[in-house]
Amino acid sequence: MRLPVYLDYNATTPVDSRVLETMLPWFSEHFGNAASRTHLYGWTAEEAVTNARKQVAKFLNVNPKEVVFTSGATEANNLAIKGLFEKKSVRGKHIITVATEHKAILDTCHHLEEWGAEVTYLVPSSDGLISLQQLANVLRKDTILVSVMYANNEIGVIQPIREMATLAHSVGAVFHSDATQAVGKVTVDMHSDGIDLLSLSAHKLYGPKGIGALIVKQGIEISQQLDGGGHERGRRSGTLNVPGIVGLGKACEIAQKEMKSESERLKLLRDRLEQGILSQVPHTFVNGNIAARLPHLTNICFEDVDGENLLLSLKDVAVSTGSACTSASVLPSYVLKVLGLTDDQAYASLRLSLGRFTTDDEITFALQHIKEVVEQMRVGSLM
C-alpha cells in the first residue's frame, strides 16, 4: 500500500493511465495548432479537438457548439460571471449566489461589486442547503444571474439545482452552476437540469490540470474575457491546449461509462469509513446534509481535538481541512463557519474524499490510523 493513503480526491485526482495514453501523441507527434487551416498538422489537431468536444458534450447532454474550453474551472467561473455581467448590466446589476461557493465565484462577485454589481449572498442552513423559498425571496426583476454550485467542494452537499434554475428563469435571470465537483460523480444533465452556464475542470475527474470548460447554452450571450484571436467562436481567445482537451474528452468518455458503478463502490467505502469513525471515535459528527451529498466524501468534525496537531499527526493519510485552494491561509474553513461551526470545530474537521483508485485495504488502514491518532491526542490532552 502506498503511504500516505490518498484521501483528498476533491483537491485533485491522478490522471487515469487511459487518459494519459490518449494525450501523449498530441504533444510531439501531432503537435499542430488547431487553428492552422492551411495544412494537415492543423487539420489533425482540429479533428482531435472536435472529437473531444463531442465527448464532453455527450457526457453533459449538450450540443458540442456549446462547449468553450478554458484553463479550468476558475477561468470558467470568471468567464461566466464577468462575461454575463458585461452583456447584461444594462438590463440589471443584481446577482445572487451562495456564501459557501468556491472562492472563484465569491472573489469574482466581489470584483464585480467594484464595478457596480449588487450581489446577494444566500446563507445556507446548518446542513449546507439553500431552500427554494430563500431563493424566491431575493429574486428581483433586475436579477440577471443566479450562480449556485452543483455540489460543495468541502462538504459535498448537492443543491436542488433544477428547481433553482426554474426559479431563476421565472424572473428572466440566467442560471450558472459551478459543477466542478459534481461532474463525473453524479449525473449532470445540463439540459434537463435547466442550467444555462456550467463550469467544470478536468483535474477533478482523472484528467490533466490546466484544462476545463464553460458550457454556454445556445442563445446565452457572454463577453469574452481574453481578447485575441477569437478562438472558441469568439468566446475565449488563446491557442487551444490540444493534449489537455483530448485528455478532458477521454476523461468524460470514461466517466460516462464507469461513473455509476464507481459511485456505488465509493459510496460503500465512504459509508464504511464514516460509520467506523462515528461509532468508534467519540465526539464526532458529520458536517453538512448526509442525504443530499456526493457519494465519495465525508467531512467529519473531531470535537475537543486541536485541528493543527490532528493534521500533523495524521502522517499516513493525506486529507485536508477546508479546501486546498485556501489552504495557504491558516483561517478556519469559511464554509464550515457559515454552517455555524466554531473556529475550533472548523479547525478540527477533516474532509476525507475517496476516488477511483481507493481500495478496501486503504479504507481499513485509514480508519484504524485516524482512530489511533485521535485517541492518542485525547489521552495526551488529559495528561
Three-class SS of residue 264? helix
Q: What angle do CA 325, 253, 352 make, to 5 degrees?
A: 35
Q: Is 178 in the site for ligand PMP (CB under 6 A)?
A: yes
Contact (CB, 8 A) for 9 and 353: yes
Touching ligand PMP, residues 96-115 (CB under 6 A): 102, 104
C-alpha cell, 113: 461589486
Question: For ligand PMP, which is the closer residue by CB, 104 or 254?
Answer: 104
Q: Is 212 in the site for ligand PMP (CB under 6 A)?
A: yes
The least distance separating ligand PMP from the CB of residue 325, rounded to whole angstroms, comes to: 5
Q: Is 181 in the site for ligand PMP (CB under 6 A)?
A: yes
Q: Is the peptide bond before 208 cis (omega within 30 degrees of 0)?
A: no
The least distance separating ligand PMP from the CB of residue 90, rounded to whole angstroms, comes to: 28
Q: Is 207 in the site for ligand PMP (CB under 6 A)?
A: no
Q: Is 201 in the site for ligand PMP (CB under 6 A)?
A: yes
Closest CA to 248 of 212, 197, 214, 199: 212
Angle formed by the axes of helices 242-280 and 40-60, nearest 10°: 30
The least distance separating ligand PMP from the CB of residue 213, rounded to whole angstroms, comes to: 10
Q: Is 159 in the site for ligand PMP (CB under 6 A)?
A: no
Q: Is 74 in the site for ligand PMP (CB under 6 A)?
A: yes
Stretch that binds ligand PMP, among 46-54, 67-75, 314-322, 344-352 (CB under 6 A): 67-75
Q: How far apart are CA 167 and CA 146, in angstroms?
A: 9
The least distance separating ligand PMP from the CB of residue 72, rounded to whole angstroms, comes to: 3
β-bridge pairing 284-286 and 297-302: antiparallel
Question: For ligand PMP, which is the closer residue by CB, 89 or 225?
Answer: 225
Task: Determine what percent of the chain falls in helix, strand and coil, rounding each to the nearest 5.
Answer: 45, 15, 40
- Binding-site member from 13, 143, 147, 180 for ligand PMP (CB under 6 A): 180
In the chain the first and final C-alpha atoms are separated, in Å, by: 34
Q: Is 241 in the site for ligand PMP (CB under 6 A)?
A: no
The least distance separating ligand PMP from the CB of residue 248, rounded to whole angstroms, comes to: 11
Q: Is 72 in the site for ligand PMP (CB under 6 A)?
A: yes
Q: Is 147 in the site for ligand PMP (CB under 6 A)?
A: no
**Helical spans, DSSP H, in the chain:** 17-23, 25-28, 40-60, 73-88, 103-113, 132-138, 161-170, 190-193, 231-234, 242-280, 307-313, 334-338, 343-347, 360-382
Q: How far apart are CA 199 and CA 49, in angstroms?
A: 18
Q: Is 322 in the site for ligand PMP (CB under 6 A)?
A: no
The least distance separating ligand PMP from the CB of residue 80, rounded to whole angstroms, comes to: 11
Stretch that binds ligand PMP, among 108-116, 135-143, 176-184, 264-272 (CB under 6 A): 176-184
- Catalytic positions are 325
Which residues of the shown chain bind ligand PMP in the complex (CB under 6 A)?
A: 72-74, 102, 104, 149, 153, 178, 180-181, 201, 212, 323, 325
